Amino acid sequence: MSTTDDSFSVTSESLAIQKTSLKDKWWHIMDTWKVGIIPLPLFLLAGALIAIDCLGGKLPSDIVVMVATLAFFGFACGEFGKRLPIIGKLGAAAICATFIPSAMVYYGLLPDVVVESTTKFYKSTNILYLYICCIIVGSIMSMNRTTLIQGFLRIFFPMLCGEIVGMLVGMGVGLMLGMEPFQIFFFIILPIMAGGVGEGAIPLSIGYATLLHMDQGVALGRVLPMVMLGGLTAIIISGCLNQLGKRFPHLTGEGQLMPNRSNGDEQAPAAPAFSGKTDVTTIAAGALLAVLLYMIGMLGHKLIGLPAPVGMLFVAVLIKLVHGVSPRLLEGSQVVYKFFQTSVTYPILFAVGVAITPWEELVHAFTINNLLVIVSTVSALVATGFFVGKKIGMHPIDVAIVSCCQSGQGGTGDVAILTAGNRMSLMPFAQIATRIGGAINVSVSLLVLGNFLV
């Protein structure tokens, strides 16, 4: 009797071990096999559900379905870019997440229902601005106050020097290639530094249409490809700078412009996410803080014309400097920043690639002369930022990555460039480089062009 009981006990233990083993294997797959941040089983399930909707001829553009759709395609493209040999470490993930969808749309490889739903969702929700405001507020709130002040005061000088040197080098290369000076400056160099599409290329095309008596569509068609190629060059350079920082750590602050020389009364950069004091309500309050600051920025845009992200940025800096929010809420903002950085970046880039990145324009501008002028301009701008930043006591690689954003495609370009450089905490400075620098370039250049033609 006892022998039978013993054997039954052994058998039960073996079955329990086997069941536990199967459970553990499944949990291991869920926790370690991932595409981006998505566990492989959930990734496959998302793909199957999206395929079913596509076969049915309709993919809803509501936020529930689009979260799954953008995550599926965005992380798939990003993961593909990360796994490419050599260039996978040079920003290929951000490039693939943006330009593979654009090419797929152009060549008809992406189902029409996906394209239509993604475009409708992106343009109707302005989700990019939610992303940017959470990134800006979270990164500012996590900065050391002294470093923040010094960074904002000093960043303008390397930016200015970089633009001057970049323009001179670009003009020189273009002239050596036999190109017309007017064409070089106004249709290649200026679009690169104009601050993207909405704040740069479109105002430029309107100005050119008025001053040069040409159709705005024609002007935009000539300007837009240069913006895209300049942004692509900046993404690649940013990825290279990230690798340079890993090889020479003394050249980088890993997302901080200034060496941390606080007096001890300041906390150094932010407390770790989920330190034990951050609960769900605090995280929700941190997200609401970012949204409300953006609404203040929108109000400022209506009143004085300052771009909403820049207005929000200045208000966030002011709140940080006067200790306007508690340390606990600061940590909640940082958790929101971390969430958007890790979970929303590649889905956003996929939506950008589908909705507003015209592949055919990029291909048509791919000429040797254009490429040489663009690469030399952006490289000179970034190199100048690097050496000037180093000369005035800033971390040169981080300054150079901000300089890359002077050649980006606006807010979307900033996201791609900082993702490639693994420096998303530099978003506040990137917005200054893109929005303010671009607006100044466009305004001054159109003013000079108008006086020149009179």
Per-residue pLDDT of 249-262, as tens digits, reads: 999 988 888 886 54
Place of tokens 């079913």: 52
Q: Which two tokens stand for residue 11?
A: 């058998």
Average pLDDT along the chain = 83
Rounded CA separation 132/412 (Å): 9
Q: When comparing pLDDT for 15 and 209, which is higher?
A: 209
Three-state DSSP at 263 gives coil
C-alpha angle 133-403-125 in degrees, rounded to nearest 5: 25
pTM: 0.75
Average confidence (pLDDT) over 399-422: 86
Amino acid identity of residue 118, one-letter, is T
Average confidence (pLDDT) over 413-417: 85
Per-residue pLDDT tens over the stretch 351-387: 988 987 788 877 777 789 989 999 999 999 999 999 9
Best CA proximity match to 231, nearest among 88, 358, 396, 388: 358
CA separation, residue 364 to residues 104, 204, 285 (Å): 16, 20, 47
φ/ψ of 34, rounded to 5, equals -135, 150
Rounded CA separation 77/4 (Å): 58
Q: When comparing pLDDT for 394 and 87, which is higher?
A: 394
Q: How far is CA 109 from the centre of its chain?
A: 25
Query: Percent of the chain, pLDDT > 70?
Result: 89
- Asked if residue 146 lies in contact with residue 262, where contact means CB atoms within 8 angstroms, the answer is yes
